[in-house]
Structure 1
Amino acid sequence: TCNVEMYPEAKPKAENKSIAPKTTKESIDREYLEYNEPKTVFPAEACDDLGGEFCQPDYQKGVY
């Protein structure tokens, strides 16, 4: 059997629907990085960063 205390469903109070939602449009300048450059990966982090064959026991043998 399940020993649980049950309570009635709680419903949020009704809000004033006549107020329009506040929306603003801000111009946000964002810089996007391009990941097309070679990256140095340490052998101990290769499984986490690259996955796949770098998580195989043969590759991880000399890492730890």
Structure 2
Amino acid sequence: MLVQMNPEDPYEIRDRWLIFAQLECGHVALNDLTYFVEQCPKDPVSEMIKVQIHSVEQEQITLH
């Protein structure tokens, strides 16, 4: 379990995406980024995350 202290906390969900990104699996948790932006639209980080969402959506996924 990557993050499960408070499963609906948007900040914990955002942090879970950061873990996936470090593992080069950011696309796996794309819903996490979207959830954060929806739950915290006024957070200053939301604008940067919107850019990250677009970037992840443009990436080609390589399956091994």
User: TM-score, length-normalised on structure 2?
Assistant: 0.26
User: TM-score, length-normalised on structure 1?
Assistant: 0.26
- Give the structure with the higher percent helix: 2
Please identify the structure whose Cα radius of gyration is greater: 1
